């Protein structure tokens, strides 16, 4: 999200399957209430037939991509409702696991762009920073495509250090599959595979 100096400019991406809306290709759409900033965006998205040399780019959706995006936008609330239903299903089935599960914030609702779980201390103690990677490999053997929420923390890519909170989060979080066309049987298969790796650790 880009916040303009006056008002808000939002740039929701329209790319791959984990996004709430997709229309193919790379990039996104721009929405906002800052007329001056929006005018600059409109000016910069194409470079042809201009009388000055200001920096501009060829950033346009095709008509087909725009049509797909409009149809998806009309189904946006349905997509969110289905993501929330899958999350509820995960929550019910994984409640007996040793994972820490996500949920709605006190003052809102989660749209479950991702379903991110926190791995148990015992798994981290055994595997260290490779905990998520080992879980990903184990789930892949069962036909489940899990991922880290981010490939690497930004400060690591920039060669920086001194961000223990980000590093701790990266070492213990895992993103499970969730998307609107996922059927109940697929969600149950994911939950079953995850539960086989992370059963309840509470004393019996």
Alpha carbon separation from 164 to 22, 67, 112, 123, 160 (Å, rounded): 34, 44, 25, 19, 11
Identify the pLDDT of residue 26: 63
Q: For the chain, where are the E strands, in sequence order?
A: 9-10, 31-32, 115-118, 173-176
| pLDDT tens digits, one per residue of 43-94 | 888 888 888 888 888 877 778 888 888 888 899 999 999 999 999 999 999 9
Find the mean pLDDT for residues 181-195: 97
Q: Are 56 and 43 in contact (CB under 8 A)?
A: yes
- Between the two ends of the chain, the Cα-to-Cα distance in Å is 47
| pTM to 2 decimal places | 0.80
- Between 19-23, 31-35, 81-85, 146-150, the lowest mean confidence (pLDDT) is in 19-23
Domains of the chain in start order, with CATH, are 9-74 (no CATH), 76-197 (3.90.1150.10)
**86 CB burial (10 A radius; 0-12, 13-18, 19+):** buried
Is the CB of residue 119 less than 8 Å from the CB of residue 200? no
Low-confidence winner among 1-15, 71-85, 115-129, 130-144 (lowest mean pLDDT):
1-15
Contact of 146 with 176, CB cutoff 8 Å: yes
Q: CB within 8 A of 45, min separation 6: which ones?
A: 56, 57, 58, 59, 60
97-113 tens-digit pLDDT: 999 999 998 899 999 99
């Amino acid at each position: 999200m880009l916040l303009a100096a006056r008002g808000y400019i939002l740039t929701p991406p329209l790319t791959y399957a984990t996004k709430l809306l997709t229309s193919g290709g790379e990039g996104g759409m721009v929405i906002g209430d800052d007329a001056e900033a929006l005018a600059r965006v409109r000016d910069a998205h194409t470079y042809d037939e201009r009388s000055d040399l200001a920096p501009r780019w060829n950033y346009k959706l095709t008509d087909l991509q725009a049509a797909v995006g409009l149809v998806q936008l009309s189904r946006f609330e349905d997509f969110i409702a289905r993501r929330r239903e899958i999350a509820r299903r995960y929550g019910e089935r994984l409640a007996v696991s040793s994972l820490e599960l996500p949920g709605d914030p006190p003052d809102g609702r989660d749209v479950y762009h991702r379903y991110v779980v926190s791995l148990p201390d015992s798994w981290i103690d055994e595997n260290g920073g490779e905990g998520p990677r080992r879980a990903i490999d184990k789930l892949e053997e069962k036909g489940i495509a899990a991922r880290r929420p981010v490939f690497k923390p930004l400060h690591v890519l920039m060669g920086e250090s001194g961000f223990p909170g980000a590093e701790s989060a990266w070492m213990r979080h895992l993103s499970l599959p969730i998307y609107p066309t996922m059927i109940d049987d697929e969600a149950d298969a994911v939950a079953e595979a995850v539960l086989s790796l992370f059963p309840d650790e509470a004393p019996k």
